[in-house]
Amino acid sequence: MNDALPATSRTSILNGAGTLAIEDRPVPRPAAGEVLVEVAAVGVCGSDVHYYRHGGIGDFRVESPLVLGHEASGRIRAVGEGVAADRIGERVSIEPQRHCRRCAQCLAGRYNLCPAMEFYATPPIDGAFTGFVTILAEFAHALPDAVSDEAGALLEPLSVAIATMRKAGIAPGSRVLIAGAGPIGIICAQTARAFGASEIIVSDLVAERRERALSYGATSAIDPAETDIARAGLAVDAFVDACGVPTAVDAGIRAVGPAGVAVLVGLGSPTMPLPVAHIQNFEIVVTGVFRYANTWPLAIELVARGLVDLDTLVTGRYGLDAVAEALESDSDPASLKSVVYPGRG
């Protein structure tokens, strides 16, 4: 452990729905196979907002103090046993999960489905709204100079988009419909373009968001209040739900052509009706995305080569004392991605 490191770091704590506090917490020590990262930037995710406003998501409830934030980048400041010391000083993007490496899902390469997964900012595992965090060395992904700290943090939602495009089978010439022009929808539009999609249709009720989608890779944008998407004759190859609204999911699946794919990404109702006749008659594959696996190398390449723009998605920057404001920033339609800097007050 580097003696120059502080003993404690300021940390934003969620004590319950709508209740945040700042505490000094001990700087953790990296265990064998881990690295200690000094956090540079942390993106605010919809799941962070949900925990803050409602005290839980589905079966996950905030029953004890929790540190939010799982979209993070930083710099390695110390290493545990078995990790090369020359990694100290390396800028990294954090893949915020710890899997068991032994179960059937891990051994099959689907470590995101590990039943013993420990994921940042998912109760009871603390996240990155703090000065220092530890992570498995292989999940601290080295960043080239071409990728900023902010973009390094946002490689996490980009990884969700990459997992989505892989599930959707997006390839050169694909036609895709994306419901929702929030952060994930916008990143999915960019990623679909990078994967070669020739037509990228984005639907959203808010005109400002539709316009924004057109500047980030969408070839057209639809107002679902004015156009009946289910009956518009789109017959797309793939539908991506990035909003979680049941009516949007139903319409989107109905817009998929024969042998197409519908991928559910948005956090919506735990149960919802589906157009089963359409799914059966057209042999539509309906699947979900739960986080990601083996996505960071591609995410880094897409950003470093300029195929996906993450830097301009940042519309708000906040210090640790303003985490509440960062979590509430999504109420502004002009807001896209907010970033918290734990090193700032």
- Say if CB 292 and CB 160 are below 8 A apart: yes
Close Cβ partners of 299 (under 8 Å, ≥ 6 residues apart): 93, 155, 158, 159, 162, 308
Torsion of CA 137, 139, 145, 149, to 10 degrees: -110
For residues 192 and 177, is the Cβ–Cβ distance under 8 A? no
Structural domains of the chain sorted by starting position, each given as residue range(s) with its CATH number in brackets: 8-154+310-341 (3.90.180.10), 158-288 (3.40.50.720)
CB 93, CB 296: distance < 8 Å: yes
The pTM assigned to this predicted structure is 0.96
* Number of helical (H) and strand (E) elements in the chain, helices listed first: 10, 19
Q: What pLDDT was estimated at residue 3?
A: 56
Taking residue 39's Cβ as centre, other Cβ atoms within 10 Å add up to 26
How much is the pLDDT for 1?
Answer: 45
* 8 A C-beta contact, residue 213 and residue 224: no
In angstroms, the CA 24 to CA 7 distance is 9
Q: What are the per-10-residue average pLDDT scores of the chain (345 residues)? A: 81 96 97 98 95 90 96 98 98 97 97 97 97 98 98 98 98 98 97 98 96 96 98 98 96 98 90 96 97 98 98 97 96 92 89
What whole-number distance in Å separates Cα of residue 18 and Cα of residue 16? Answer: 6
Task: Measure the CA–CA gap between 87 and 205, rounded to whole angstroms.
Answer: 47
Query: How wide is the angle at C-alpha 292 spanned by C-alphas 280 and 341, nearest 5°?
Result: 135
What's residue 155's pLDDT? 98
Following DSSP, what letter does each residue of 78-93 receive, concatenated? EE-TTS-GGGTT-EEE
DSSP string covering 288-344: E--S-SS-HHHHHHHHHTTSS--GGGEEEEEEGGGHHHHHHGGGSTT--EEEEETT-
Q: What is the pLDDT of residue 331?
A: 87
Cis peptide before 273 (omega within 30 of 0): no
Contact 166, 240 (CB under 8 A): no
Judged by DSSP in three states, 57 sits in: strand
pLDDT at 19: 95
Alpha carbon distance 9, 344 (integer Å): 11
Among candidate residues 232, 237, 133, the one with its CA nearest the CA of residue 178: 237
Pairwise CA distance, residues 204 & 53, whole Å: 23
- 169 in Cβ contact with 237 (< 8 Å): yes
**Sequence-ordered strand ranges (E) for 234-307:** 236-241, 256-264, 285-288
